[in-house]
Structure 1
């Protein structure tokens, strides 16, 4: 009986880890898909080579604060306020996380 319970616990643990990994991969994939639309201005993976600011490797909280300010019309912008309004606060948080993790 102990062997069965040990095996059952190990199997449940593996299944749970697989589920967490799958959720993480889905979350990462979604954030990367959203981030792809940022590439037109901010460059691939946020590494701009133009006058538009590079956002790769920036501090997550700084990015999120700016994105939320654009969304709430608290920061002047040409188009960023329009883009930011298309996302929930949670989605903007995920985008900020994504770009903060990109190498500069």
Structure 2
């Protein structure tokens, strides 16, 4: 590669903004406190779940259709739009995925 071409490539790369990770919607970061990638006990991981499943579960907790000890109270704190934003963020960022070795 010619020095002029290399300089242009470096300049173009420097001028291109890096892709920023999506900002977590309010409440999303707290999910991992209980729903760890490798859960212990009765609390399931969110790894491998799709956004629709997460939203449906949150709606079931909110309505009382799915019994819970804590999630029913947590789910009532979020609107449908907030729940969808959290679910989409969890799936998009891989926040519910197991850690890579």
Per the TM superposition, whether the score is higher than 0.5 is yes
Give the corresponding residue for 2:28. 35
Give the RMSD, CA atoms, in angstroms.
2.4
Q: 1:63 to 1:37 in 2, by over 3 A?
A: same
Q: Which moved more, 1:74-83 or 1:47-56?
A: 47-56
Note if 1:96 corresponds to 2:90: no
Relative contact order, higher structure (CA 8 A, sep 6+): 2
More helix by share: 1
Q: CA deviation at 1:58?
A: 0.6
Could you state the TM-score of these two structures normalised by the residue count of structure 1? 0.62
3-state SS of paired residue (2:81)? helix
Q: Which residue of 56, 62, 72 maps to 1:65? A: 56
Question: Aligned pair count?
Answer: 77
Gaps of 5+ in 2: 1-18
Note if 1:49 corresponds to 2:39: yes
Would you identify which runs of 4 or more consecutive aligned residues in structure 1 move more than 6 Å?
Answer: none
Q: CA deviation at 1:39?
A: 2.0
Does the CA-based 8 Å contact 2:24-2:89 persist in structure 1?
Answer: no
Does the CA-based 8 Å contact 2:35-2:46 persist in structure 1?
Answer: yes
Could you state the TM-score of these two structures normalised by the residue count of structure 2? 0.64
